[in-house]
Amino acid sequence: MKPSVSPYFTPVTLTNAFTVDHQTLTDGLRAPIGVGELTGHQNFCGIPFALGQPGEKNVILLENHGVHIDVDTLTATYLIFLHAVEDRVTNYWPGLADFSVDGNELGDLVADYTLEYADGSVETAPILRRFAIQQSRIAWGASAFAAIPALKPGVFYTSTEEQILGNWARRPYGNGETRHASGRERSADKLWLYALPNPHPAKPIRRIVCTPQKERALIYGITATTLTDHPLRAGIRRKARLTLPAGATLNKLGELDSVDIDLGVVISARAAFDYDHARWLGVEPVVLPAKSDQAVLIEYTAHPQAKLYVATGSDTQQVYDLAALTALADSALIAVAPAHRPVTVRVVEQASQQPVAVRIHLHGAHGEYLPPRGNHRQVNPYWFEDNYGEFVNVHNQYAYIQGECVVDLPLGDVYVEITNGYEVKPVRTRVTVTAETDLLTFTLEKVLRWREQGWVTADTHVHFLSPTTALLEGQAEGVHVVNLLASQWGEMFSNVTDFDGRSTLGAQDFGGDGEFLVRVGTENRMQTLGHISLLGYSGQMIHPLCTGGPSESALGDPQEVTMAEWAQRCIDQGGLVVMPHAPNPQLERAADIVLELVHAIELMTFNPLNPNNIQVNPYGIADWYRYLNLGYQLPVSGGSDKMSAASLLGGIRTYTQLGDRDFTYSNWMAATKAGNTFVTVGPLAELRVEGVAPGGKVTLPPSGGSVNVSWKVESVSLPIDQVEIVVGGLAVDQTTVNKGLTASGSAQITITNSTWIALRVRGSYRGKHGEIAAHTSAVQVLVEGKPLFSPKDAMAVLEQIEGAIAYVDTIATRPAAQRFKQMRATLEAAHNRLHQRMHQNGLFHRHTPLHDHMQSHEH
C-alpha cells in the first residue's frame, strides 16, 4: 500500500521562490540520495509537500540574500520545513582531525526564518546548525536536536519470517531481530524536517522570509498545519484491536501487512489471541488462546491526530481516526489499555518467603502479551535466533526471571501464569492493576517432595544458551542439572568456548549454591552413523566435534571416527555417554550399545506442552525396549535438544535417584549410570520389584516365580490416565487413574523367563488418549539358566551394525588408511560380539549379501 498522508497539512507553493535546480548542486550541497523523490507532490513522515518540478528551479538555495515566499493569508500553528545545511568539515581542535564530514558541530546561526503577518508585525526565529537544521551527510551519533530525519522509522520482519513470507531477508540475520530501524538509519544521506512554531497562530501570515546568515542551506519544501500538538514529536506505544474490514487479509505469519498510520508507525499488526478466561482460571495444565483470523492487535506509535489506514483491495482502503478511539467493545477499532504502569512482580517460595526463579507469562484483557522489561514483545521461536531466557509454547510466551521483574502493565485485568518445574504447584490467575499498583507478589507452593527424597532432575541435552542463561532456566524449571552441549552445524560452532573441561557452573566449588548446576559437554555428531552426547567429561574437548560431512560437519570433512571412539574417550575422561534423541539416527548406536560404551538412552521432545508434538516418543521407547530385551540394561534419560525459544528446557527431563550420594555433578553421573532413573514430561514415578529399584536385578530360580511390583506416581498438573507395569515391553498390569494427580499400587507378576520390568505412565497435556507421560528405567528379572536375549531384536540390531559397516565401506568420505582400518575394526568388533551371542543362543540367521561380499573382499 502507498504511504499514507495526513489531511492536516497544507503545502506551501514555492514555485516563485525556487532559485536553483537541485540536480546542478555539487559537493556539500548535493541532493541527498535515498530519501525519496525530491520533485512534485511528495510526503515525508506522512506530511505532504509540494516540491519543485524536475529540470527547472526546484529548491531554494539560501546564500547572499533573503528569499521571500508570499503565502497570501495563511494561518498555522506550525510551518514544517524540509531543509538541510551545507555539509562541512568538522574542526574538532586546532591541528587535530579536520577532515571528517560528520555533522558533529553545532550552534552556528545558519539562517533566520521570519514570519510576516498580515497586520505588518514580524516574528523571527534563528535557525541554528544541528538544532533546527542539520547537514545531509552525518556520522553515527550526529542527530539534530529539534529536527527529524525525513524518513519514518521502518519496521521489519526477522530473517526467518521473511523467508516464511517468501522474501529474501530485507535485513540481515541479527539485524533483522531488531525488527526496526530509525529514519536516520534508513538512508545514508538525510533531509531534515523542522516544525517552526508560530507564536501567533490566530494571526494570518502574509509572507515567509528566509535569510541566510553564516552558512549556506537548502529549502526543498514548506508545509503548514493547524495541529496543536507538535507535529513531529513521536508518540509512545499504544495498542488497539481491529476487527478486519472486508477485503483485508492476513499474511502467512498471521500479520496484517497492508496497514499504515500517516503521522506514526504501525509497530506490529498481529492476529489477536483470544483466551477463554474461564478456562484460564481452571485446572487444565495448558491453556492456549485461539489465534484470530478476524481481528489483529495493532501496536503503534502515533501523533494524537493520526489516522490508521487499512487496505481493503488493490486501490481501496478503510480509514480509522485514532483520535476518536474508544474502548467500546462493539467498535471495529477498540482501544486496548496501554501498558504504561511499571509494576514490580515478585515471586516467592511459600515456605521460605524467598524469591524463586520462575517462568512467567502475563497478558492483558485483549490477549496481548505483557513481557517483563528486557524481554521481547514477540518471543522469537526460530532456530539459533534470540537464544535468551525465553520460551514460547505455540501462542503463549514466557520469560525466565530470577524471582523478580518489572513489567509495564495496563490498568485493569491482567492474567498471569507462573511455573517452577514438576514439584511445584503452578499458578494461573488474574489480578487487577490500578493506578496505585506498584508491587504484585505471588507465592509458589512446593507440593511434591521428591528432591527431599534424593531425586534430582536433569536435561541431558541443551544447545546454544549461554551457561548463565542455562542456569537460570534450570532454576526456573526445577532442573538441577543442565547439560549444555557444544557442537558444530556445518561451518557453525556453538558453545565451544563455554567448554573448559573443568567447571560446573552453580557448584559450590565454583561459588554456587550447589543446588542447580550447568556443565558444558559436547554432542558429537555425524549424519549417517549417528549423534552421541558426551556429558561432564574433564580435560580437552573431544574432537572432531562432528565428522563425515554435511549437515553435521562441514562439507569436505572426512569420516574420521566412529561414535565408539568418541564414547571411549568420554569414558576415559570421566564422562557420561548418552545416546540422544532415540530412535534416530539409528545405525552405529547399535554397535556402541553392544560394545557397552553407552550409559543411558535419551528420549527427546522439543516441547511436550505443544499440542502438535509428541510428549514422549513411542518409537524411541520401542528402540530402547529392543536393547533391554537383549539384556543391555540402559537407564532412560530425558533431554529437550533445545535450540530455540520454541523448545522447553527440561520439558522432558531425567529424574535420577542419588541414593546415599550427596548432590554433585559427578555423583549425578554415577547415580545415572547406576540406573534408578525415569523420564517424564510431568508425572513423577517410582518403581520397586521385590524391593529392588530400576538399575537393579532380581534373580529367580530356573522355575521362575512371582515377583511383587509396587509403584507410586504423583503429578502437579498433568492428569494421569493410566499406570502400566511393563514386562519385556508389554503391559501386563494396568491401573486406571482417571485424571487424578496421584496414585499408587502393587501387583504380583508371574515370571517364567528372564525379562525386565518397568513402569509406564500415560496421561496427556491435551487430553489425548494413550499418550505416554513418564517411563521408569527397568529392573532386570533374571531366571537362572535362561539368558535375557530376544532373537528378533538381535537381528534388528545386527542389521544396524551391518548398515554402519556398509556405510563406512562405501559412501562415507575416506580418512587416512590407518583411521579407516581402526573404524572398521571397531564396527567389526561389535558385529562379532553380537554375532557370537546370537550363535550361543542358538540363533542361525542369513547374513546380508552386502556384508558377505565385504567379508570375502577383505580376505
Residues engaged in binding Zn ion (CB under 5 A): 523, 531, 580, 641
Cβ neighbours of 738 (radius 10 Å): 10
Considering the complex, what minimum distance in angstroms separates the CB of residue 485 from Zn ion? 6
**CA–CA gap between residue 493 and residue 495 (Å, rounded):** 7
Nearer to Zn ion, 225 or 647 (CB): 647
* Rounded least distance, CB 194 to Zn ion, Å: 55
Tell the smallest beta-carbon distance from residue 464 to Zn ion (Å): 10
156 and 170 in contact (C-beta within 8 Å)?
A: yes
**Minimum CB distance to Zn ion smaller for 372 or for 580:** 580
> Exposed/middle/buried for 101, CB within 10 Å: 0-12, 13-18, 19+?
middle
Instruction: State the Cα torsion 837-840-844-847 to the nearest 10°.
Output: 30
CB 744 within 8 A of CB 712: yes
Is residue 53 within 8 A of residue 200, CB to CB? The reply is no
| Smallest gap from residue 170 Cβ to Zn ion (A) | 31
Are 192 and 133 spatial neighbours (Cβ–Cβ below 8 Å)?
yes
For residue 533, the minimal CB distance to Zn ion (Å) is 7
CB of 804: closest distance to Zn ion in angstroms?
A: 17
Which one, 532 or 718, has the nearer CB to Zn ion?
Answer: 532
Task: Between 51 and 576, name the residue whose CB sits nearer to Zn ion.
Answer: 576
Question: At closest approach, how far in Å is the CB of 643 from Zn ion?
Answer: 7
Q: Nearer Cβ to Zn ion, position 272 or 579? A: 579
Nearest CB to Zn ion, comparing residues 496 and 732: 496
Q: Given the C-alpha cell 542389521, which residue does it identify?
A: 799
Asked if 495 contacts 505 with a C-beta cutoff of 8 angstroms, the reply is: no
Cβ 531 to Zn ion shortest distance, Å: 3
DSSP-derived letter for residue 137 is B
Least spacing, CB of residue 534 vs Zn ion, in Å:
12
Q: Are 774 and 683 in contact (CB under 8 A)?
A: yes
Residues whose CB falls within 8 Å of the CB of residue 205, separated by 6 or more in sequence, listed in order: 71, 73, 74, 75, 76, 115, 116, 117, 118, 198
467 or 580: CB nearest Zn ion: 580
Residue nearer to Zn ion on the CB measure, 602 or 802: 602
Least Å distance, CB 582 to Zn ion, is 11
**C-alpha span between 550 and 552 (Å, rounded):** 5
> What kind and span of H or E run contains 805?
helix 791-809
**Spatial CB neighbours of 572, under 8 Å, sequence gap ≥ 6:** none
**Could you give the CA distance from residue 316 to residue 247 in angstroms, rounded to a whole number?**
9
Q: How far is the CB of 543 from Zn ion (least distance, A)?
A: 17
The nearer residue to Zn ion, 131 or 383, going by C-beta atoms, is 383
What is the crossing angle of helices 849-858 and 791-809, to 10°? 50
Q: How far is the CB of 823 from Zn ion (least distance, A)?
A: 20
| Single-letter amino acid, residue 858 | E
Distances 418 to 14, 430, 774 between C-alpha atoms, Å: 62, 12, 23
Cα 575 from Cα 568, distance rounded (Å): 10
Residue 194, H or E segment:
strand 192-197
CA 481 vs CA 193, 416, 457, 714: distances in Å? 56, 27, 6, 21
Q: What share of the chain is helix, strand, coil (3-state, %, to 5)?
A: 15, 40, 45
Min dist CB 490 to Zn ion, Å, is: 14
Q: Which is nearer to Zn ion, 8 or 499 (CB)?
A: 499
C-beta closer to Zn ion: residue 523 or 565:
523
Q: Are strands 576-579 and 600-604 parallel, antiparallel or unpaired?
A: parallel
**Measured CA distances, 820 to 471, 526, 557, 586, 802 (Å):** 40, 16, 14, 21, 16
Q: Which residue is nearest to Zn ion (CB)?
A: 531
The CB-of-474 to Zn ion minimum distance in angstroms stands at 17
* Closest distance to Zn ion from the beta carbon of 167 (Å): 30
d(CA 668, CA 635): 13
For Zn ion, the closer of residues 292 and 640 by Cβ is: 640
- How far apart are CB 639 and Zn ion at their closest, in Å? 8
Query: What strands lie across the sheet with 259-261, from one edge to the other?
Result: 259-261, 307-311, 317-321
- Report the alpha-carbon distance of residue 204 to residue 224 in Å, rounded: 12
Cα–Cα distance, 415 to 442 (Å, whole number): 12
Cβ proximity to Zn ion: between 135 and 483 the closer is: 483
- CB-wise, 306 or 616, nearer to Zn ion? 616
Residue 57 or 531: which CB sits closer to Zn ion?
A: 531
Indicate the residue among 640 and 715 with the shorter CB distance to Zn ion: 640
Element of type H or E holding 360:
strand 358-364
